[in-house]
Amino acid sequence: MDVNVLMPERDPMGAAIADYFATGRAAKLRVFSSQFEEDEIPVSQLFRTYDKMPLLEQRALQLAEGRILDCGAGSGCHALALQDMGKEVVAIDISALSVEVMTKRGVSHARRVNLFDDSFTERYDTILMLMNGSGIIGRLENMGAFFAKMKQLLQPGGRIYMDSSDLRYLFEDEDGSFLIDLAGDYYGEIDFRMQYKQVRGDSFDWLYIDFDTLSLYAARYGFAAELVQQGEHYDYLACLKMK
């Protein structure tokens, strides 16, 4: 099996994106996690236009320059906004359905590529990882592999813009004390599984990371992290560059 392809029968988000694109509406995109109650992703939000985007995302799009990689591009909302701004962008996603929709929506360079694929070796000036973009890293133990890949993909002087939330608020007591088990796994390591209609996806790891932890790992692997902007609720946009 080609692990770099997310096939339609295992791709609930791709199915939701394809439905919404085709009909202008979608059923519930359900999200399950062993750590949380069942939740749902509003599919229309995956099609957000520039003015509906959170300020952190707008900021990242403004800062993006040169040859841009939109990593885990979904419906292509950021890639389309960048094209409108006259910027040059390649949008990659592991989902065959999403890439098909991006192409139909007018994303000029949409490709079905796994970020971590060894054969994906082009150079970019800006790499965007948006909508809790750190998620694609999966777990803290993958940080070494992630930064090695970034070194391979970035032009000298290139930058990564990544957003995330610090999940500490989920574990904070009213008096400000923490309920985090310090001996346990990092509190931002979450497992998810999605379902759309009858399409059930496999479980996957998704990393939420606080800025201090991101900075520590960045430094360990030869990168510098800068806090570009803080959001309204424990979220932030970071810029990472090679030292």
Q: Which residues bind ligand SAH (CB under 6 A)?
A: 6, 13, 46, 72-74, 77, 92-95, 98, 114-116, 130-131, 136
Minimum distance, C-beta of residue 172 to ligand SAH, in the bound complex (Å):
26
Residue (74 or 188) nearer to ligand SAH, CB: 74
The answer to whether residues 126 and 159 touch, using CB atoms and an 8 Å cutoff, is yes
What are the beta bridge partners of residue 127? 69, 160
Residue (123 or 212) nearer to ligand SAH, CB: 123
Helix (H, G, I), strand (E, B) or coil at 72: coil
Could you give the count of Cα atoms lying within 13 Å of 87 in the half-sphere of its Cβ?
Answer: 23
In which residue are the tokens 């939420």 written? 208
Give the C-alpha separation, 174 to 226, whole Å: 30
Minimum distance, C-beta of residue 11 to ligand SAH, in the bound complex (Å):
7
Minimum distance, C-beta of residue 210 to ligand SAH, in the bound complex (Å):
20
Residue (93 or 210) nearer to ligand SAH, CB: 93
Give the C-alpha separation, 4 to 118, whole Å: 10
Residue (109 or 180) nearer to ligand SAH, CB: 109
* Residue with nearest beta carbon to ligand SAH: 72
Minimum distance, C-beta of residue 35 to ligand SAH, in the bound complex (Å):
18
Residue (158 or 201) nearer to ligand SAH, CB: 201
Q: Single out the residue of 66, 59, 128 nearest to residue 93, CA to CA.
A: 128
